[in-house]
Amino acid sequence: WRYILTNTKEGTNSITIGQNAGSSITSTVGIIAIGKDVCKLATTPFSDQQSIVAIGYETGTSMTIAHRTTLLGSKTGGLISNSAANTLIGFKVGTTITGWVNGIDGSSYNCGVGCESFNTGPSSSRNVFLGYQCLIGDGLNSSLLADDVRDCVALGHKALRACRTVENVAVGSEAGTIITTGKYNSFMGHKAGSNITSGNYNTFLGYKAGINLSAASSNNVCIGSNAGFTGVLNNQLWIHNSQTND
């Protein structure tokens, strides 16, 4: 075990506790690293690299350049590097995101709490999530590379679970849970939009709203419990409490 307290010769105002925790710190400042292998690669100074908190077994193990980052949970944010302003809390949260990929500044400005959530593409940014297995895309399948997810909000158990795209909002347990490539959708309610995969520009509000529409349906508004008719339909408006095409 390795214990380094404040104002050490190697790390200015840093605290590390745990085997290999912060073991490569040279000139970074303001790091709190607690747990085995936490921030063990943190070496390279950033213009304002500070306020980094990482707590948990193998949390932030590959972090080098980062700042304003909080990682709490076992194996959370293990590959994050070259990123900023992430707050990730929970077991195995953000295990697949990294940072700079092909010159793109990614994996920044994400905020969320959940177990096994936010395991998306390497440069996913500006996402908010709360719940178990939200925003995981293909991230839990090691044989597949998840796509980047940006500007999404997922609140609820498995909300936007399979999402691999951008600008979707889902609020409710399993809301939009199997959407993959669809964009610009808003789902609010338990299992709202839970049958949509590739549809775009849908707005569903209510318990199981739009659940009867087929996967590619787009540009629809469904308001009410089970609102929406069965089939692939586009450019429709339903305000009702059951299946209807009126």
pLDDT per residue as tens digits for the range 8-65: 434 457 788 888 887 766 655 678 889 988 887 765 554 445 678 999 998 888 877 7
Nearest alpha carbon to residue 153 among 178, 182, 175: 175
Distance, in Å, from the CA atom of 219 to the CA atom of 184, rounded to the nearest integer, reads: 10
What pLDDT score was predicted for residue 68? Answer: 85
Distance, in Å, from the CA atom of 93 to the CA atom of 136, rounded to the nearest integer, reads: 9
39, HSE (Cβ side, Cα atoms, 13 Å): 36
What pLDDT score was predicted for residue 142? Answer: 45
Distances from the Cα of 71 to the Cαs of 52, 62, 66, 79, 136, in angstroms?
Answer: 8, 12, 12, 12, 17
Answer yes or no: are the C-beta atoms of 239 and 227 closer than 8 Å. Answer: yes
Indicate the pairing of strand 153-155 with strand 169-171.
parallel
What pLDDT score was predicted for residue 118? Answer: 92
Q: Which residues of the chain have pLDDT under 70?
A: 1-12, 24-29, 42-50, 99-106, 138-146, 242-246
Distance, in Å, from the CA atom of 225 to the CA atom of 206, rounded to the nearest integer, reads: 5
209 token code pair: 């709203």
What pLDDT score was predicted for residue 71? Answer: 94
Distances from the Cα of 5 to the Cαs of 39, 59, 135, 136, 194, in angstroms?
Answer: 15, 19, 37, 36, 50
Nearest alpha carbon to residue 114 among 96, 97, 94: 94
Give residue 178's Cα distance to chain centre: 15
